[in-house]
Amino acid sequence: MKPIIYGFCCMAAAGAVLLSGCGKQNRENPFMKAYDTPYGIPPFEDIQISDYEPAFDAGIAEAKAAIDSITSNPDAPTFANTILPLDNLSPTLDRVVSVMFALTEADGSPELTEVNEKLMPRYTAFTDEMMMNQALFDRVRVLYENIDTVNQPLDERRAINDTYTAFVRRGALLSPDKQNELKEVNTKLTDLYLKYNKNLLAANNAFEIVVDNKDALAGLPSTTIDNAAAEAKARGKEGKWVFTLHAPSRLAVLQYADNRDLREKMWKGYTTNATTGDNDNRPVINDILKLRAKKAALLGYKNFASYMTADKMAKTPEAAEALLMKIFVPAKAKVAQEVATMQQLSNDMGNTFSIEPWDYYYFAEKVRQRDFALNEAEIRPYFAVDSVRNGIFAMANRLYGLTFEEMPDAPKYHPDVKVYDVRDENGEHLAVFMTDYFTRASKRQGAWMEELKTSWVNPDGTVERPIIYNVGNFAPPTADAPALLSIDDVQTMFHEFGHALHGMLSRVPLKSQSGTSVDRDFVEFPSQFHEHWAFDPEMLKVYAHHYKTGELIPDSLVTKINAASQHNMGFMTTELAGAALLDLNWGRLNPDGDVDVDAFEKQVAEKLGMPSQLTFRYRSPYFKHIFGDDGYASGYYTYLWAEVFDADAYELFREQGVFNPELAGKIKHILESGASQDPMELYKSFAGRTPTPDALLHQRGLVD
């Protein structure tokens, strides 16, 4: 999901043109004017490393000139002369930052990383300067303090309120001395986030398990073995097999490898990731914790978690934790049942060991095969990546009337990328959608959605439509087969596409309220809500075709998939809720000195009664969500918070039809509305009620 990096720096009128030397010829910097490409897609093939810094500097100058124009306006502050131009500061800055961020994460290089490390602190300094500009804040405050005396439309009232709140949360009310302290803290945090992410990427790429005995591969799917052989060849170890920490490799080993030593090496390699040598992130975490505590104190909060939840639906870390514990306690009880079942199966197989964390995935898979006769090797051929992509497109068509047409000649930043022209139910252009699904060394771990361009309405009434992309880390095709997805991969693809729909369908006038710019604890509602269609029997009949024969997935497999949908939910929910609770505990910490990261995690686990057979979904040195930037810091709870909403919403669809047009229209309204309305009010207008965790607990099989 997209991190918050842009503040109020967005696109507006065209900027200046810069010519930079290229041998004896001058060339035009592509960032310096509106792109002359279909729908304004960045011309990736024309962008050079040398383009970023001059365009960035020009964008900062353009934004500062726009701010000066606002503050020097002699007219009384109005929405039109203050908030609107704040929403439209610099097209140049937006273009260069959006591409730089996108490529650093999805297709990075040492040269681009160096540029990013140089420019992002300067970007932070600029946003601090803007948000602490007293003349600018005074105009915003006038609007805020007089908001009830003007007949302002609801979305404009929300924009005024949110803008004022953002200024205050960035230090606008502090004294000059305190503002300078806060600026210093923010700059240091930006440097630390860059260092954390750089360490993590390096550690991920450095780790490998080399296998030279084919017998050690017993139990692994043939596609996993083929990919491991290809990885070994790429690393100059032809004739061997190399396994990495990238999810397709790691999870396959943990789930299928009969060799227990191989599973243990993989689990220990993963859970100690980024903890050694120059890539050790624990010292970085300590520095981040101290600076976050200082930032919270400067802004008048008792801890960083209180600061991060204050402007969200939860309002307090205590409210977030209370919800998590309602889920964690029954999930933990379910784990005890799951472990007992797995232990008995292991004993029956003649094993004498107790289930350890590196055994959990393996024996969970054995139980699933035994109880549900469900084998992923039998299922994967029906989930080739192109088939699943057809599935998400078919879902969007059935629910919202959208169509997708591939643009094979469109600019793209990597050959793996596919680009689509998305059209609405009237055949009008709605968005550009890009997919980038396969793992590679230049891409960070995980899956996410982002925008290269958001949507908005210009003052003259013309509409700008968004450019949205989804990134994954699925195993690539082999010489003999296309990329075949696991059940988890399919769910991830539908999840990220839910975020993409949120961005594509946005219809609000303001950039700052478009798409996923909603409260952080509501932003996962659209993504998780659309996961429900991934394995819906009616949906599977549309897209799940065998990649070799074209045969539609048989009813027997559909029945097995859905019968097993609650399998292992104790483990999955406990590790997720546990990670969210760990995050909140980090956020409530105000350390005087260095903290032993491992010991603190152990302390939290003991306090929660975390089962010994599992750990947090992410350990802190590779918990990028919370230490790679501020986006999900003290906010990882939002996945489960939002699932309360999505589970409750899907119950209505189950009752009235999964493609019920009236309900789909109401969901579409939520997606179109972005942050222009209060999320709880939007939800209640759809469901007619406030959600409770009941549906979530039932759907996960955690209560009867």
Whole-angstrom distance between the N-terminal and C-terminal Cα of the chain?
33
CA dist list (Å): 670 to 152, 163, 423, 506, 673 = 21, 22, 19, 9, 5
All structural domains of the chain, each given as residue ranges with its CATH number in brackets, are 19-131+133-169 (1.10.1370.40), 207-273 (no CATH), 383-563 (1.10.1370.40)
- Contact of 504 with 469, CB cutoff 8 Å: no
Rounded Cα gap, residues 333 and 577, in angstroms: 13
Residue from 496, 531, 575, 651 carrying the catalytic annotation: 496
171: part of which helix (H) or strand (E)?
Answer: none
13's CB contacts (< 8 A; 6+ apart) are 88, 91
Report the SS3 class of residue 394.
helix
Rounded Cα gap, residues 284 and 290, in angstroms: 10
Q: What is the dihedral of CA 304, 522, 472, 232, to 10 degrees?
A: 40
b/e map 608-620, b = 16+ CB within 10 Å: bebbebbbbbbbb
185's CB contacts (< 8 A; 6+ apart) are 291, 294, 295, 298
Q: What is the dihedral of CA 262, 264, 267, 271, to 10 degrees?
A: -130
Token code pair at residue 536: 């819906």
Q: What angle do CA 639, 645, 647 make, to 5 degrees?
A: 90
- Contact of 488 with 465, CB cutoff 8 Å: no
Rounded Cα gap, residues 606 and 610, in angstroms: 6
471 CA to centre of own chain: 9
Q: Is 496 a catalytic residue?
A: yes
Blockwise average pLDDT, block size 10, the chain, 704 residues = 32 31 66 97 98 98 98 97 95 97 96 96 96 98 92 92 97 97 97 96 95 96 94 96 96 97 98 97 98 98 98 95 97 97 98 97 96 90 97 98 98 98 98 97 93 94 96 93 95 98 97 94 95 96 96 95 94 97 98 96 98 96 96 95 96 96 98 96 95 94 89
Closest-CA residue to 258 (of 379, 362, 380, 371): 362
Angle 317-348/357-372 helices, nearest 10 degrees?
70
Say what the pLDDT of residue 2 is: 33
Say what the pLDDT of residue 16 is: 32
Say what the pLDDT of residue 475 is: 92
Closest-CA residue to 506 (of 551, 582, 444, 451): 451
Q: E-strand spans in 415-466?
A: 418-423, 429-438, 448-453, 456-457, 463-464
Q: What angle do CA 623, 629, 631 make, to 5 degrees?
A: 95
Token code pair at residue 698: 């039932």
CA torsion sign for 566, 570, 573, 576 is negative
Q: Which amino acid is present at 8? A: F
Q: Which amino acid is present at 131? A: M
Say what the pLDDT of residue 567 is: 95
Rounded Cα gap, residues 624 and 612, in angstroms: 23
Closest-CA residue to 448 (of 205, 43, 105, 97): 105
DSSP string computed for 108-165: --HHHHHHHHHHHHHHHHHHHHHHT-HHHHHHHHHHHHTGGGS---HHHHHHHHHHHH
CA dist list (Å): 637 to 292, 316, 356, 605 = 18, 12, 26, 16
Looking only at the bridges linking them, the beta strands covering 241-243 and 19-22 are unpaired
Eight-state DSSP code of residue 209: E
Report the SS3 class of residue 671.
helix
CA dist list (Å): 697 to 386, 404, 569, 644 = 33, 35, 10, 9
357 CA to centre of own chain: 26
Indicate left, alpha or beta for 500 from its phi (over 0: left) and psi (-120 to 50: alpha): alpha
